[in-house]
Amino acid sequence: PKCTVYATYMTNSSSFIEEVEWLLDKGVSVINCSMRHGTTTGKYGIWDKWVDHIDMNHDVLFVKAAGNWDDEVGYVTSPGLAYNAITVGGYDDNNTAVSTDDTMWKYSSYNHANGTAEKPDIIAPAANFTFPGKSTSSGTSYSSPMVVGTVAQLLSAKPSLATQPGILKSVLLASAFRKISAGNYGSINFSPFFSNIEGAGKLDAKNALYVVNSGN
């Protein structure tokens, strides 16, 4: 409640810098980035470094969609390899309220170069969103705004966290204790407890709010 939402569109290298700086000038506490920027090599690069700079020097949490296998050759897309960003992968909840039928969305990116931070950090629903006109779309671009919305709720509960992006990230990851335990990821079978495909697990807004309100 009472949060202010700013929207912008980035088209090229200069635009990316200018638009993010515009958001920073507006005094935002969290930025969602549902796009890739720069090369898709799975390596920590200049744009990832810049996002880490934003986190450390502007106290703004940057949330980035992990990317999609179908058009990004499987690599987590830049600037999603920033160490301090929250990089969000996607899962398929099969349009039910229960967790027992959840599976990883098969196009959610997780590949990265050796020596680079393991990403994604967390996952949220990514599959089969239906819009007015009954068109349906999927992608991690729908997953990361859910994390941003959860951050807004946490800041409403505890405004002092607005300048502590590291704590916000820690709370979200610590509260996302539920891993995907059914199915497989494409042709890759994986353990629900030892997987770098889904990071800390599923976003749990209610549990995150409990952690903040309990003072942990």
Does 71 or 64 have the greater pLDDT score? 64
Quote the pLDDT of residue 57.
94
> What average pLDDT does range 129-138 have in this prediction?
88
pLDDT digits (tens, 9 = 90+) for 33-65: 998 776 677 889 899 999 999 999 999 999 999
DSSP per-residue codes, the chain: -----------SHHHHHHHHHHHHHTT-SEEEE-S--S--SSS--HHHHHHHHHHHHH--EEEEE--BHHHHTTBPPTTTT-SSSEEEEEEE-TT-S-STT-EE-TTB--B--TTSPP--SEEEE-S-EEETTTEEE--TTTHHHHHHHHHHHHHHH-GGGGG-HHHHHHHHHHH--PPP-SS-BTTB---SSS-SSSTT-B--HHHHHHHHHTT-
Closest to 143 measured CA to CA, from 53, 80, 51: 80
> What average pLDDT does range 15-39 have in this prediction?
89
pLDDT digits (tens, 9 = 90+) for 93-113: 988 888 878 888 989 998 777
- For residue 180, name the pLDDT band (cuts at 50, 70, 90): confident
CA separation (Å) from 170 to 51, 165, 184, 195? 17, 9, 27, 19
- For residue 71, name the pLDDT band (cuts at 50, 70, 90): low
- Amino acid, res. 204: D
- For residue 17, name the pLDDT band (cuts at 50, 70, 90): confident
Quote the pLDDT of residue 1.
77
Does residue 125 have a pLDDT over 90?
yes
Does residue 157 have a pLDDT over 90?
yes
Does 87 or 180 have the greater pLDDT score? 87
* pTM summary value: 0.90
Peptide bond just before 145 cis, omega within 30 deg? no
